[in-house]
Amino acid sequence: MPIDQGWLEDARRVTSPNQDARPEGEVSLLVLHSISLPPGVFTGDAIERLFTNRLDPEVHPYFAGIQGLRVSAHLLIRRDGTCVQFVPFTARAWHAGRSWWRDGKRWRRALNDFSVGIELEGDEVTPYTEAQYRSLVHATQRLLVYYPAITPDRITSHARVAPLRKSDPGPAFDWAYFRQMLGKGTR
């Protein structure tokens, strides 16, 4: 899964309008998220519709509450391990919201400026699938090579960068297993 002009070559592309240019071009942080729409539902095209501003508020009562939300992520990893890319890594996806990161001795805000956002289809309590871990490891390995400023210690969760607002990917995400697979280069 090489990266070609900011796109994973074997990811399906669905371009989101919710992106813009990175102010400095820096890519040095990876933020992991989880998403399911409606909450707890792991099928359908609602996530793609949300990230492309086409979510119909009439389809489900939950959608009415998020109508007009303008968000995206660079990559979505579905339950079967399929990757859908919405924003090239060279651009700024709108995924982290109000957040901060301790970068050495200084705190940084506006994390979208320098981070990659990967969404895992899921919620915070349902275990993620083996296929998702394998796809996540493979994508992460590509990012670590292509963007050497992203190192294993610069991979974090939405919960850690926005702790008062977010808790994803939640306790269902097995960080130890992910890091073990990443360290072994498991594909």
* Catalytic residue ranges: 119
Q: What is d(CA 65, CA 68) in angstroms, rounded to the nearest whole number?
A: 9
CA dihedral defined by 62, 63, 64, 70, rounded to 10 degrees? Answer: 130
Helix 175-184 × helix 130-146 angle, to 10°: 50
